[in-house]
Amino acid sequence: MISRRGMMAGAAVLPLLAAGRPLLAKHRLANPPATPRFPLRTEQLGRVRVDDYAWLKPANWQEVWRDPSLLDPKIRAYLVEENRYCDAVLAPTEQLQAQLVSEMKRHVPPEAVSPPVPDGPWTYYDRFSPDGQQPIYLRKALTGGAEQVLLDAAARAAGKHYLAIRNVTHSPDHRLLAWAEDSSGSEKFTILVKDLATGEIVTGPTDAFGDFVFSADSRYIFWVWRDPQSRPKRLYRRLARGGPDSLVYEEADPAFLMEVAPSASGDWLFLRSFNDVTSEVRVIDAHRPEGDPTLVASRRTGVDYSIEHWRDRFVMRTNANGAQDYRLQWAPIGSPSGPWQTWVPHRPGRTITELHPREGDFAWLERVEGNLHIIACGVDGIPREPVRFEEAAYVLAVQPSEYSDNALWVTIESPRLPPQWLRCDLGTGAQESLLQGRDGPLGRYVLKRLNSVAADGALVPVTVLHLADTPIDGSAPLLLTGYGAYGYSYETKYSAPVLALVDRGWVWAVAHVRGGSEKGRAWFEAARQLKKKTSFTDFISCAQMLIDTHHTRARRIVIHGFSAGGLLVGAAANMRPDLWSAVIGQAPFVDMLNTMSDATHPLVPLTRPVWGDPLSSVEAYDYIASYSPYENVRAQPYPATLATTAIGDDRVGFWEPAKWIANLRRRSTSGKPMLLHTETQGGHQGASGRLDEFVEMARMYAFAISQTERLGRSHSQVARDPTRD
């Protein structure tokens, strides 16, 4: 990270405000950097566009992603100046930021522990210490004795600017532990294997995508290689204790990603090639790891499917033949290519999202009106009553557990509920608490699911969280967020930063706009390609509904979007700047027309089914050009805007928010600050440590508060300690 204090040298540092006091609009701000304009003219499909700030994208951008030190010194100097200006503008909020971090920590459970999962002669679990940034992975013999530390992630992170650990997995014979490690933030992982008897660690491939699977005999690891363009392209097999790699499969089509995963039974490996609309699966016998993969069904555009193994059969989840919300079908394990028989028919409005077989029953997750339910059946294929949960909006995640236990272990959490561990019996539907979780003072918070009526009459879900005593009279400031892309549902997880903001009298809301899949596959299709603007109009309708229901009022709404959510808020800022008090784009995808016109970008071939192809289609070009946030900035009074990014972000290049902020600063007539903060460490996902994330969120929330809250001390400006209620 560029040193914040070091960059303040010589800057116009403004005095800190007294604790709890709002920012005054009359503060004199430092002068923003002057952004040079070097117009680049591009002619494409008979259309011409001029990009004044194209120079901010380095010529060696792919090399910079792998090694940020290779960044052009002129661009680096400009980013340093932008950070200096951002620091100067936010200097009056430094005390507020520190308070916010402290308030966020109050909502972290004292010690986050997973319940011990039995597997063979051991139980496996992990935990965080109260101030721990990274977890410790442990095991203990079923017969008793001392616990054994398998991996201390915090110790491995010591002295590093960044460390992300993924896919911590023990071998089936319990003799090895493997994990994937990223020390740059570029999501380029090294796979390491530890001998649990000797403690010796063998460094494996350094160019891995991060997913890998042990063979059933523990001799081999199957892992996915990431090419220099950051695309997962090949599946390799190597001896787990070290040895050469053997190519198992290579994905030739750049429009597809690749992943490898084990079956729930551990008897099979599934290699899946996929994009957002199409997929293809190959199966490998985990007991015969040197065999060739077998293709299940050839890819057909628009057909998405996945596979699981249960008893004597493979079970397929597929949307083929009009099953928009998916159906289940099966084939014998001796015939993975079919023929396939329908098992659980398509039920519109109940989207099958994941398959989780156990030895006794077959279970899956269904999403209904945004929330997940657990469904199970026997060999008859007749679904039993769903296992439901009480929260108005929640996140359900299936956790590892014994395959022989006819139950699913899950965590359930909501914006006001810390993760709770439950055992859900598949036969009876009974729920049993596995750990005494920290429930917290749930009664202090109101969590509800509302609906906004879109321009075409569709009901768009909106999740809302606020204190029970926050007045719903239009006076409260509100943070509105959303995503609405790639068919991903916005998961309303427990968030210590969100609760810290809500404790200050803010309302927090999520607009579950079309483009996601909260209401099934049709919800995604309704805002894809030439219908993408539906996401933006949905978002604005949700904001208007929150105003009409007195949760807030115009110009007291801060909008926030991460990645493709940045596209959402960037477009909303262009369309209705009068509604917002501030805009926060976190790694925002805002330069869509230029990015989708760069065929060398690794994500462009992959995402054409979602956005369209402006290189080959005039219709797609014109449509994207009509809403791409960067190209559509114009002379109007924009709200204050903060964009955050990282040089190593290989999904949304740092130049996208940099160009966007420069264009906003040049064209906005409001005089409000336009800020850019760039990290030299990390990548698209931001901080690797859970408490480091609080510092990032405190900066964003302090910016939101500084641009929104009214003068004078009120209940909305000083957080209340929930432990004192």
Least confident of 93-97, 163-167, 279-283: 163-167
Instruction: Tell me which of 125-134, 263-272, 432-441 is least confident.
Output: 432-441
pLDDT of residue 112: 66
State how far the Cα of 328 lies from the Cα of 154, in Å rounded to an integer. 42
Cis omega (within 30 of 0) for bond into 339? yes
pLDDT over 70 at 233, yes or no:
yes
Rg (CA), the chain: 26
CATH 3.40.50.410 fits 117-345, yes or no: no
Shortest CA distance to 541 belongs to which of 561, 565, 511?
511
Q: What one-character DSSP code corresponds to residue 185?
A: S
Res. 129 pLDDT band, cuts 50 70 90: confident
| pLDDT exceeds 90 at position 10 | no
Tens digit of pLDDT for each residue in 589-606? 999 999 999 999 988 999
* Percentage of residues in the chain having pLDDT higher than 70: 91
Q: What's the token pair of residue 668?
A: 């906005």
Q: What pLDDT, on a 0 to 100 scale, did the predictor assign at position 187? A: 77
Residues 477/467, Cβ–Cβ less than 8 Å = no
User: In this predicted model, what pLDDT tens digit does every residue of 60-81 receive, in sequence order?
Assistant: 998 998 888 999 999 999 999 9
- pLDDT, average across residues 306-317: 97
Q: Which of 530, 521, 537, 394 is CA-nearest to residue 458?
A: 537
Could you tell me the residue ranges of all domains in the chain? Answer: 4-105+443-720, 117-345, 349-437
Q: Whole-angstrom Cα distance, residue 263 to residue 286? A: 9
The phi, psi pair for 74, rounded to 5°, reads -65, -40
pLDDT for the residue 109: 75
- Ranges of beta strands (E only) in 289-346 are 294-295, 305-310, 313-318, 327-332, 341-344
Cβ distance 470 to 509 under 8 Å?
no
Q: What is the arithmetic mean of pLDDT over 384-410? A: 94
Q: 27-31, 329-333, 720-724: lowest mean pLDDT where?
A: 720-724
Any idea which residue has 């532990």 for tokens?
Answer: 177
Which among 647, 523, 634 has a CA at the least distance from the CA of 570?
A: 634
68/439 Cα distance (integer angstroms)? 43
Q: How does residue 227 score in pLDDT terms, banded at 50, 70 and 90?
A: confident
* Range 4-105+443-720 classified under CATH 3.40.50.280: no
671: alpha, beta or left, given left = phi > 0 and alpha = psi -120 to 50? left
Strands (E), 538-608: 557-562, 580-586
Residue 441 has pLDDT above 80, yes or no: no
On the question of pLDDT at 415 being above 70, the answer is yes
pLDDT confidence of 50, banded at 50, 70, 90? Answer: very high
Check pLDDT > 90 for residue 1: no
Query: If pLDDT is split at 50, 70 and 90, which confidence band does 437 have?
Result: low
Give me the DSSP letters along 662-725. HHHHHH-SS---EEEEEESS-BTTB-SSTTHHHHHHHHHHHHHHHHHPPSS--TTTS---GGG-
H or E element that contains 567: helix 564-575
